[in-house]
Chain A
C-alpha cells in the first residue's frame, strides 16, 4: 500500500487532506504554490465549508439523521482501518469497543452523574486496555485465527453483558439495555434537543480521526505497519518491531472506536447489547472499509458514503417487501469489489481524480504561459 497514494474525488474532506502530501512528490518545476496544490486546498476548503453549512440547507431531520449515521460509520471505519487496514490483519469484533465506550459513559453518567464527555475518555482508556489485551496473544496468529479470536471475544462479551444485571457496583441491566432519560439538555451533558449539535460533534470527530490517520500514514509507525502487514518476515529481518507497531495501532483504534460508542449512546439515548455489541455491526464496519479500500485514507469515508445510503434507503423503501435486500447488495458489492478491485473503490476514483486534477492544472499552466 505504500507508494499508492490514496486520494479521493474532490467531494469529500479526506481527499483533500491526503492530497497535500502528494504535491511534494508528483509536482515539480514550480516554485511556491503549484496549481495542483491550489486546486486541492480550495476543493478541500470548499468541502469542509459545505460540510459545516449542510445543516443550514438540509432542514429535514430524517436526512440529517442519515448523514449523521454516514459520518458515524465513516468514523468507526476509519478507526478500524488503523488496525484492519494499515496493520494488515482482519479484526471482526470491533463492536465490542463501541459497546465498552457506550456502556462506560452511560453508566458513569446515570449512576454517578459524571459528564459523558469525561466518561467518553474513561471508556476510551478501558477499550484501549482491552484492545491491547486482545492484541498481545493474537497478533502472532495467522489472519484467520486473529479474525476468529476477535469474533469470539466480542461474542463472549455480548453474552456476558446480556446475562449480567450488575458488574460489581455497575448496573448493566442485562438484556434490556440502558436508557438515558432525556432531561438536562446542554453541552455539558452531551444531550441536545435538535440533531444539529450531534451533526457537528460527529463531523469534528470524523475530521479529527481522518487527520490522525493521515499523520500516522506519513509517520514511522505508518511505514512499520505497512511493512509488517505486507511482508512481516522481511520487516522483522530489517529490525522493525512489527508486533509492537500493531499493538500501538490496536490501542489507538480501540480507543477511538470507544469514543464513537459514547457518541452513539448520547445520540440514540438507548443502548442495547444485542445491537451495539452485535456481530452485524462488527461486520458492517469491516465491509465498509473493505469496499471503500482498506489501508487507504479516503477508503472508509468513500465506503460509508456509498453503502450507508444504499442500506438506509433500501430499508426505507423496500424494507417491507424485500427484507434484507440491502445486505444482499452489500454482499454482492463486496464480492465484486474483491474480485475486480481488491484495493477497494478508492483506487479507480483516485485515478479519475488525478486525471481531473492534471487536466485542470494543465489548463492553468497553459493560461499562465499565454
Chain B
C-alpha cells in the first residue's frame, strides 16, 4: 500500500512535469490551430540553452530561468516570424493548413540534427547541481526533490499562463484571434504579430519545462522525440488548446507510467498509453477539456 501511495505521488509529480512539457504545444495549437511537430525540438533547444547557461554562469539551475525564458521567447517569435508566417500568408483561407504541419516537421529534423552536428551525440548533465539525488522524506516514503519543485513550477506556470490569457489586454487579443482571426483583424489586431507572440510564449513555456527537467534528466540531441510523442498524447487526452487539460493529461500519463510497472512489465505501460490515446481519439477527440469545434 505504501508503495502504491509513493508511486501515485511520484506519478502526479512527474505527470505535471509532462504536462508542462506539453503546455507549449497546447498554447500554440489553441491560437494557430496548428499542431507543432517541432515541439519536442523546442524543448531540446531549451535544455541546451539551460545547460549552457547553468554551466557557463554557475547559476542555480532554477535561477537560469531568467536567461532561458527571454531567449526561448525570442527564438520562438523569430521561428514563427521567419519560417512559418510566409506559409500562413500563402494559405490564408485554410482553417488548419496542413502545409504548416509539414514545415514544423522540417524544423524538427533540422533542429535535432543541428544539435547533433554542434554538440555531438553524448548525454550531458549539469555539473553544479545542488538538487542531484535530493529526496524529501515523508514518513517512510521518499519523494524526489527536483520532481517536487518541477511540480510546483508546473502549477505556477499553468496559473500564470491562464491568468495572462484571461485577464491581460494582450491575452484577450490572443484569445480573440484564436476564436476568429478575421473578426480580430477587423478589430485592429495584427493577426500575424499575435501568432508570433503566441508561438514565442509557447516556446518560452517549453523553456520553463526544460529547466524543470534539467536537474534530473540528460540533455542530448534527440531528447525531444520522447516528449514530442508524449506531448501529443497528453494534449489530446486533456483537450487540444486547454491549459489545465495539459496538466491533467500529463498527470494521467504520469500515473500510468509510475503505477503501472507494479502490475506489469514497464514497457507495456507505454503500449497502454498509446491505446488510451487512440481510444480518446476515436471516442472523444476533443479530449477532456477541449472545445468541440476544434477537431
Contacts and interface: CB of A to CB of B under 8 A. Distances in A.
Interface stretch (A100-108, A188-196, A327-335, A359-367): A327-335
B35 interface: yes
Given A156-B274, A331-B106, A331-B107, A147 B35 contact: yes
Contacts of B34: 144
A90 B102 CA distance: 9
Contacts of A286: 102, 105
Residue from A137, A145, A287 with most neighbouring chain B CB atoms (10 Å) = A145
B87 A339 contact: yes
A141 B117 contact: no
A332 to B, nearest CB: 6
A173 to B, nearest CB: 15
Contact of B271 (A143, A163, A331): A163
A85 B121 CA distance: 35
A142 B90 CA distance: 20
A156 B233 CA distance: 12
B285 A145 contact: yes
B229 A142 contact: no
Contact of A149 (B109, B121, B275, B281): B281
A248 interface: no
Interface string B117-134: 100010000000000000
B282 A137 contact: yes
Given A143-B96, A331-B108, A148 B281 contact: yes
Given A143-B101, A323-B116, A335-B107, A151 B229 contact: yes
B281 A323 contact: no
Interface string A113-152: 0000000000000000000000001100111110111011
B143 interface: no
Interface string A259-283: 0000000000000000000010001
Interface string B89-119: 0100000101101110111111011101100
Contact of B35 (A148, A156, A159, A334): A148
A155 interface: yes
Contact of B106 (A138, A153, A156, A334): A334
Residue from A90, A137, A290, A338 with most neighbouring chain B CB atoms (10 Å) = A338
B109 A328 contact: yes
Interface in A157-199: 159-160, 162-163
A324 B102 contact: no
Contact of A331 (B110, B116, B281): B110
A331 B295 contact: no
A286 B102 CA distance: 9
A342 interface: yes
Measured as residues with beta carbon below 8 angstroms from the partner, the interface class of chain A is 35 or more
A279 B268 CA distance: 19
Interface in A265-312: 279, 283, 286-287, 290
Contact of A334 (B90, B103, B229, B267): B103
B35 A141 contact: no
B83 interface: yes
A145 B281 contact: yes
A152 B278 contact: yes
Given A145-B295, A331-B113, A335-B103, A138 B86 contact: no
Interface residues of B, number: 43
Contacts of A138: 281-282
Contacts of A142: 96, 295
A110 interface: no
Nearest to B104: A335
B48 interface: no
Contacts of B285: 141, 145
A317 interface: no
Given A90-B102, A151-B229, A160-B271, A324 B96 contact: no
B81 interface: no
Contact of A152 (B86, B121, B221, B233): B233
B102 A152 contact: no
B265 interface: yes
Interface in A330-370: 330-332, 334-335, 338-339, 342
B121 A323 contact: yes
A54 interface: no
B232 interface: yes
B103 A162 contact: no
A147 B101 contact: yes
B277 interface: yes
A328 B113 CA distance: 6
Interface string B28-41: 00000011000000
A135 B233 CA distance: 19
B113 A144 contact: no
Contacts of A149: 278, 281-282
B268 A152 contact: no
A155 B86 contact: no
Contacts of B102: 90, 286, 290, 334, 338
B83 A335 contact: yes
A343 B4 CA distance: 54
A112 interface: no
Residue from A153, A324, A330 with most neighbouring chain B CB atoms (10 Å) = A324
A151 B270 CA distance: 14
16 contacts: A90-B101, A137-B282, A141-B285, A148-B232, A148-B236, A152-B233, A156-B271, A286-B102, A324-B116, A324-B221, A328-B110, A328-B114, A330-B106, A338-B87, A338-B103, A339-B83
Given A323-B117, A332-B110, A334-B109, 20 more contacts: A138-B281, A142-B96, A142-B295, A143-B101, A145-B295, A148-B281, A149-B281, A152-B278, A156-B271, A163-B271, A290-B102, A322-B117, A328-B109, A328-B113, A330-B106, A331-B113, A334-B102, A335-B106, A339-B90, A339-B103
Interface of A: 90, 137-138, 141-145, 147-149, 151-153, 155-156, 159-160, 162-163, 279, 283, 286-287, 290, 322-325, 327-328, 330-332, 334-335, 338-339, 342
